């Protein structure tokens, strides 16, 4: 799965609200209300349909899975108390924590886990590709027959997952934001996801559209891993400018959902917590549409883009990208390789779309058009939803997006280039890549896995379906009134709000429309 | 300053060493332990990094940061340290801070080295190159930062424990030391007792002292004691000889005039040309002069027969009190006369012969009691350079011309025609003490005889 970066969406509703004459005001509230602006409210609260950062942020607050990531990606038990892997790596057995309960107080059973993961491999799942290594997953997706599916509740607290082949990153997938456990008995209820019940650190209270688009969460007093310090957590949709204003006026508590440059003035009013994140900004090239259906054109276009100039102009603290894989992940390239193959520009019209919500979208358009001399390039700025529609429908020739990761393995990113993957945004079809990535899934030896990754990356580089702009570095604005905020090196989605608290000496304000 | 005992002196002299040794041992143990801890920790850290280096190299080659972080966290948690993996001076993984990853590695400031150890900002630094045999050059290193505080706190704890143990040992050794000091001082005590016995006239122990130096001191004291006694005897003999010679000289001198007078009266008596009146007077005078000569000779003989004085240091007050008691018992009880005694409260130590001096004082007291109307007073005073014993009475006093005759033994007692030899004897005894008798009119109205002893 890919997710488009947080910064490139979500201001639409805020803009509409402003246009409708809503005004900002502030009022005193009881302490411990935490305001977290996001670029967009979740498009869905169903974990198996999540394909955007905002949804995943809320999913991690509402739901728990079997495992979770620590800030440095150590695997920790969430609902699972213990787990073990069989000697052949094909059977994973999890024992649930005693007294694990959903927000409504019902006990969490092994059956809840089986049903939730079965949904993830089902026909309606949009994250099915993560779970395809589960034995019988593909058959289940086709036929709906779960008889041969490798998911089984051995008893009330024990779950067994059988895999088709050993797949080392599978534990990381289970720690991801889509592998959440839901109450099996309640899932059939109509509109379950209008007021979902999970077992995460926060309970869903309500979603409202006015005066602001917000989701209100309340801490789960019976949370197994300790009651969070924040009593009420408000997720509010707003654009970057408005979020910055809220932060400047001391109304917001963090801007982790927004891609901020280290030099933004808002940091003078709060703390800047910087962290690496596993992401790459790219210009995706659609190999299905001319002129990028020609590899030589893609290679020439890639060579023509001034990626370093772009990075230095707009995100100077980011890391130069010499490949698709971000730092800290197998396959990352630390030095440039001679993959650039300059060629002559083609005369075909090329339409490159970039998100309109980007604060510097105008400057970016000017930069790209000016730097691509000789190319017939038009940079268009599109609203986020239009861009996403074209992305999913593969109607854009070229598009600027940020590729984030859900689990820390190159396999996650490289799946984007598997021909059978619906999220193959470039439409690339390369049997060599398909074969390598199929092989890599079953390879348990770290050295051989890395070699397969490198081979695949070489092919992907040669295919030139991405112009790798840079690897971003997160600059989180955090209010001086907040303590316990720890970034996660995978993505802001995995920031652990259980440990975040408001300093008692800070007065609290609430921004309301 | 009030003097203390020899034991206390020795004990106090040894105590600083006892406590000093305890503290020194504690400090040395602390420094040694801290050095040993740091050294062992550094060596242990280095070996750990050397062992893990090939595996880290494999992870660095594949840029597998999550796995590198897991390894580093495992190391950091087990070692209570912080671990940083740096490649091309950029932090690839760190357990110190998420924020420093992918940033230029900030070398700890104030980095310094000693004895092969590297320290910086309160940490023990251990650096090791990340590489594996046959692997590519990675330009990577792993840095382990071990906080020094726990090591030093451990050293401090050990030093405190060592101090406590040392103090306990010192305290216990104190008992032993005191016993040892007491035992060591036994010979000194023996010497002290012997000296005390010698000063009181006893012989004291004759057991040899088991300390050579003290035994030599003891022998030296005994030898000095014998020598002193011999010297005193010699001095007494010499003094007796001198006194005898002086007595003879005085006798010769005192007899010169009477004999000359006797010769003249005999000449007058034998010269028939003299008038009868004159011859008759000469005949009366010759027997008287001859009697006077005989008296003087008798007094001189008696004084010479007296034993020579044996002087020794002693409180003269007891001598005077005894003298008063003897005189009272012998004389005035039946006459209703009283003796006032004025003595100081503190001892008056003077070299004297208690028997002889007592006899002299009794003589003066008897004279006083004989001459007084009602009161005789004996007073003792310590003057500058001498000791004064004054015997005063409220009688008629003595004429100066008669006094000299009395002192020479020529006087005549009022008690039944006895010769007045008491004053002459007292004078002789006082002189044998190296003193003298001074006569003056008493404040009571009568005579006052002052005996002066000591330096004259």
**Which residues in chain A touch residue B58, judged by CB atoms under 8 angstroms apart?**
446-447
Check if the beta carbon of residue A441 is closer than 8 Å to that of residue A412: no
Chosen from A332, A334, A472 to mutate, greatest number of chain B CBs within 10 A: A334
Closest-CA distance of chain A to residue B43, Å = 28
Nearest chain A residue to B69, by CA: A72
Residue A130 pLDDT level (bands cut at 50, 70, 90): confident
The mean per-residue pLDDT over the stretch A182-206 comes to 94
Strand stretches in B108-244, DSSP E:
112-114, 117-120, 123-130, 140-147
Average pLDDT across chain B, whole number: 82
Mean pLDDT across the stretch B32-58?
A: 87
H-only helix segments in B306-420: 316-330, 354-371, 400-407
- Which chain A residues are Cβ-neighbours of B102 within 8 angstroms? 276, 319, 327-328, 473
Higher pLDDT among residues A96 and A407, named by residue: A96
Is A74's CB within 8 Å of B73's CB? Answer: yes
A321 or B325, which is more confident? A321
At A132, list the tokens: 């395809």
Task: Tell me whether residues A331 and B102 touch, CB distance under 8 A.
Answer: no
- Tell me, yes or no, if A473 comes closer than 8 A to chain B by beta carbon: yes
Mutation target among B98, B104, B140 for the A interface, most CBs of A within 10 A = B98
**Residue A375: its pLDDT value, please?**
94
Three-class secondary structure of residue B200 per DSSP: coil
pLDDT at A19: 37
A246-293 confidence digits (pLDDT tens)? 999 999 999 998 888 888 899 999 999 999 899 999 999 999 999 999
B88 in A contact zone (CB under 8 Å): yes
Cα angle value A336/A341/A345 (rounded, 5°): 130
| Mean pLDDT taken over chain A | 87
**Pairwise CB contact (< 8 Å): B58 & A327:** no
Residue of B nearest to A275 (CA): B99
Q: Is the pLDDT of residue B201 over 80?
A: no
Kindly state the tokens that stand for B456. Answer: 């004259």
B6-159 and B310-453 in the same fold: no
- How sure is the predictor about A11, in pLDDT bands with cuts at 50, 70 and 90? very low
Chains A and B form CB pairs within 8 A to the count of 72
Mean pLDDT of A15-23: 36
Q: In chain B, whose CA is at the least distance from the CA of A476?
A: B99
Residues paired with B388 in a beta bridge: B381, B452
For residue A406, the model assigns a pLDDT of: 85
pTM, whole model, 2 decimals? 0.64
Say if B379 is an interface residue toward chain A (CB within 8 Å): no
**Residue written as tokens 């004082």?**
B361
Q: Tell me, yes or no, if A484 comes closer than 8 A to chain B by beta carbon.
A: no
Domain ranges (residues) in chain B: 6-159, 310-453
Q: Name which of A74, A408, A473 is nearest B102 (Cβ-Cβ).
A: A473
Whether B101 and A275 lie within 8 Å, measured CB to CB: yes
Q: In the beta sheet, which residues pair with residue B436?
A: B452
Å from A258 to nearest chain B CA? 17
Please indicate if any CB of chain A lies within 8 Å of the CB of B139: no
Q: What is the pLDDT of residue B79?
A: 87
Chain B: closest CA distance from residue A118 (Å): 28
d(CA A67, CA B70): 16
Question: Sign of the CA dihedral B448, B451, B455, B456?
Answer: positive
Q: What pLDDT is recorded for position A28?
A: 41
**Band of residue B412 on the pLDDT scale cut at 50, 70, 90:** low
pLDDT in tens, A39-67: 888 888 999 988 777 789 999 999 999 99
Element (H, E) at B250: helix B212-270
Residue A288, pLDDT score? 94
Q: Which residues of B touch A488 (CB under 8 A)?
A: 98
Separation between Cα atoms, residue B260 and residue B267, nearest integer Å = 10
Distances (CA, A) of B27 to A80, A444, B34, B154, B369: 52, 56, 10, 13, 84
Confidence of residue B413 (pLDDT cuts 50, 70, 90): low
A76 Cβ under 8 Å from any chain B Cβ = no
Give yes or no for A360 touching B (CB within 8 A): no
Measured between alpha carbons, how far is residue A175 from residues A155, A230, A403, A413, B119 in Å? 22, 23, 19, 17, 39
CATH of domain B6-159: 3.30.450.20
pLDDT beyond 50 at B351: yes
The answer to whether A167 touches A90, Cβ cutoff 8 Å, is: no
Q: Does A425 or B27 have the greater pLDDT score?
A: A425
Yes or no, beta carbons of A276 and B69 under 8 Å apart: no
Amino acid B331: pLDDT: 66
What is the average pLDDT across B59-86?
90
Contact B88 A334 (CB under 8 A): yes
Q: Is A328 on the interface with B (CB under 8 A)?
A: yes
Q: What end-to-end distance do the CA atoms of chain B give, in Å?
A: 35
CB contact under 8 A, A450 and B93: no
Yes or no, beta carbons of A450 and B64 under 8 Å apart: yes
Among A271, A311, A338, A251, CA closest to A471: A311
Reduced DSSP (H G I as helix, E B as strand, rest coil) percent helix, strand, coil of chain A, to 5: 30, 25, 45
> Average of pLDDT values for B409-435?
69
Interface of A with B in 386-425 (CB under 8 A): 408
B113-165 residue pLDDT tens: 777 788 888 888 898 999 988 888 889 999 999 888 887 787 778 778 877 88
B98 touches chain A (CB under 8 A): yes
Please give the residue of chain A at the shortest CA–CA distance from B92.
A328
* Residue A484 clears pLDDT 80, i.e. is over it: yes
Please give the pLDDT value at position B204: 58
* Distance from C-alpha of A497 to C-alpha of A499, rounded to nearest angstrom: 5
Do A328 and B102 lie within an 8 Å CB cutoff?
yes
pLDDT for the residue numbered A259: 85
- Per DSSP, the residues of A139-177 read HHHHH---TT-SEEEEETTEEEEEBSS--TTHHHHHTST
- Residues of A in Cβ contact (< 8 Å) with B92: 327-328
**B409 — pLDDT class (breaks 50, 70, 90):** low
Looking at domain B310-453, its CATH class is alpha beta
Q: Which residues in chain A have Cβ-Cβ distances shorter than 8 Å to B134?
A: none
SS3 readout for B146-169 = EEHHHHHHHHHHHHHHHHHHHHHH
Which among A74, A276, A447 has the least Cβ separation from residue B102? A276
State how far the Cα of A123 lies from the Cα of A129, in Å rounded to an integer.
Answer: 11
Q: Which of A23-27, A147-151, B229-233 has the lowest mean pLDDT?
A: A23-27
Tokens of B88: 């091309």
Q: Which of A234-238, B63-67, B168-172, B408-412 has the lowest mean pLDDT?
A: B408-412
Q: Name the closest residue on chain A to residue B57, using Cα atoms.
A: A447
């Amino acid at each position: 799965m890919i997710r488009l970066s947080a910064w490139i969406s979500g201001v639409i509703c805020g803009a509409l609200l402003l246009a409708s004459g809503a005004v900002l005001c502030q009022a005193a509230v009881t302490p411990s209300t935490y305001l977290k602006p996001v670029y967009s409210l979740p498009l869905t609260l169903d974990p198996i349909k999540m394909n955007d950062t905002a949804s995943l942020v809320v999913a991690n607050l509402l739901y728990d899975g079997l495992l979770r990531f620590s800030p440095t990606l150590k695997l920790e038990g969430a609902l699972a108390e213990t787990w073990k892997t069989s000697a052949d790596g094909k059977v994973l057995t999890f024992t649930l924590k005693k007294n694990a309960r959903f927000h409504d107080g019902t006990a969490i059973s092994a059956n809840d886990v089986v049903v939730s993961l079965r949904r993830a491999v089902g026909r309606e799942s949009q994250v099915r590709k993560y779970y395809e290594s589960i034995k019988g997953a593909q058959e289940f997706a086709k036929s709906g027959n779960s008889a041969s599916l490798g998911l089984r509740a051995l008893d009330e607290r024990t779950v067994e997952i059988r895999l088709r082949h050993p797949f080392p990153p599978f534990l990381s997938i289970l720690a991801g934001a889509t592998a959440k456990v839901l109450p099996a008995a309640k899932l059939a209820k109509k509109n379950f996801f209008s007021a979902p019940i999970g077992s995460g650190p926060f309970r869903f209270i309500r979603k409202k559209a006015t005066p602001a688009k917000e989701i209100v969460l309340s801490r789960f007093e019976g949370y197994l891993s300790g009651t969070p310090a924040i009593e009420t957590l408000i997720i509010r949709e707003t654009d970057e400018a408005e979020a910055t204003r809220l932060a400047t006026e001391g109304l917001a508590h963090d801007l982790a959902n927004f891609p901020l440059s280290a030099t933004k003035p808002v940091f003078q009013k709060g703390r800047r917590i910087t962290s690496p994140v596993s992401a790459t900004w790219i210009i995706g090239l659609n190999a299905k549409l001319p002129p990028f259906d020609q590899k030589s054109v893609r290679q020439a276009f890639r060579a023509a883009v001034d990626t370093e100039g772009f990075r230095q102009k707009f995100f100077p603290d980011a890391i130069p990208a010499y490949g698709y894989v971000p730092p800290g992940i197998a396959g990352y390239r630390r030095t440039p390789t001679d993959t650039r193959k300059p060629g002559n520009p083609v005369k075909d019209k090329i339409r490159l779309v970039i998100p309109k919500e980007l604060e510097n979208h105008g400057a970016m358009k000017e930069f790209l058009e000016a730097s691509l001399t000789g190319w017939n390039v038009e940079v268009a700025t599109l609203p986020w939803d239009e861009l996403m529609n074209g992305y999913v429908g593969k109607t854009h020739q070229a598009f600027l997006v940020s590729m984030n990761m859900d689990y820390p393995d190159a396999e996650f990113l490289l799946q984007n280039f598997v021909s059978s993957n619906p999220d193959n945004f470039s439409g690339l079809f390369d049997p060599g890549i398909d074969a390598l990535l199929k092989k890599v899934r079953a390879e348990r030896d770290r050295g051989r896995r890395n070699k397969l990754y490198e081979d695949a990356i070489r092919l992907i580089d040669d295919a030139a379906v991405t112009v790798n702009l840079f690897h971003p570095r997160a600059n989180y604005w955090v209010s001086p009134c907040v303590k316990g905020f720890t970034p996660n090196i995978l993505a802001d989605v995995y920031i652990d709000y259980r440990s975040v608290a408001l300093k008692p000496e800070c007065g609290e304000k609430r921004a309301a429309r | 300053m009030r003097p203390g005992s020899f034991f206390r002196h020795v004990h106090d002299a040894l105590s600083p060493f006892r406590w000093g040794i305890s503290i020194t041992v504690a400090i040395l143990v602390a420094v040694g332990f801290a050095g040993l801890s740091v050294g062992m920790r550094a060596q242990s850290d280095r070996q750990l990094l050397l062992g893990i280096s090939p595996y880290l190299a494999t992870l660095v080659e594949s840029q597998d940061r999550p796995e590198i972080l897991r390894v580093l966290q495992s190391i950091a948690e087990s070692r209570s340290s912080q671990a940083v993996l740096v490649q091309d001076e950029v932090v690839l993984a760190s357990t110190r801070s998420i924020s420093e990853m992918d940033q230029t590695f900030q070398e700890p400031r104030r980095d310094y080295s000693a004895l092969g150890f590297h320290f910086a900002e309160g940490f023990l630094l251990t650096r090791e190159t990340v590489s594996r045999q046959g692997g590519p050059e990675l330009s990577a290193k792993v840095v382990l930062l071990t906080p020094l505080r726990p090591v030093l706190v451990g050293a401090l704890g050990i030093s405190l424990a060592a101090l406590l143990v040392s103090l306990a040992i010192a305290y216990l050794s104190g008992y032993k030391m005191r016993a040892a000091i007491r035992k060591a001082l036994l010979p000194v005590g023996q010497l002290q007792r012997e000296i005390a016995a010698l000063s009181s006239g006893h012989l004291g122990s004759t057991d040899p002292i088991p300390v050579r130096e003290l035994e030599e001191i003891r022998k030296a004291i005994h030898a000095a004691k014998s020598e002193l006694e011999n010297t005193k005897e010699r001095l007494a003999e010499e003094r007796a000889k001198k006194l005898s010679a002086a007595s003879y000289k005085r006798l010769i001198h005192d007899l010169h005039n009477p004999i000359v007078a006797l010769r003249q009266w005999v000449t007058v008596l034998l010269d028939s040309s003299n008038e009868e009146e004159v011859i008759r007077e000469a005949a009366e005078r010759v027997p008287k002069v001859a009697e006077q000569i005989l008296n003087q000779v008798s007094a001189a003989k008696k004084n010479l027969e007296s034993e020579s004085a044996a002087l020794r240091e002693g409180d003269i007050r007891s001598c005077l009190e005894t003298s008063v008691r003897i005189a009272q018992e012998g004389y005035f009880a039946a006459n209703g006369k009283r003796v006032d005694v004025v003595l100081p409260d503190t001892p008056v130590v003077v070299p004297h012969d208690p028997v002889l001096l007592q006899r002299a004082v009794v003589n003066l007291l008897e004279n006083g009691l004989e001459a007084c109307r009602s009161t005789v007073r004996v007073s003792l005073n310590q003057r500058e350079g001498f000791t004064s014993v004054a015997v005063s009475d409220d009688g008629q006093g003595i004429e100066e011309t008669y006094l000299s005759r009395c002192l020479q033994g020529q006087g005549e007692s009022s008690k039944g025609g006895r010769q007045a030899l008491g004053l002459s004897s007292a004078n002789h005894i006082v002189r044998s003490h190296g003193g003298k008798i001074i006569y003056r009119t008493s404040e009571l109205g009568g005579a006052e005889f002052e005996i002066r002893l000591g330096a004259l």
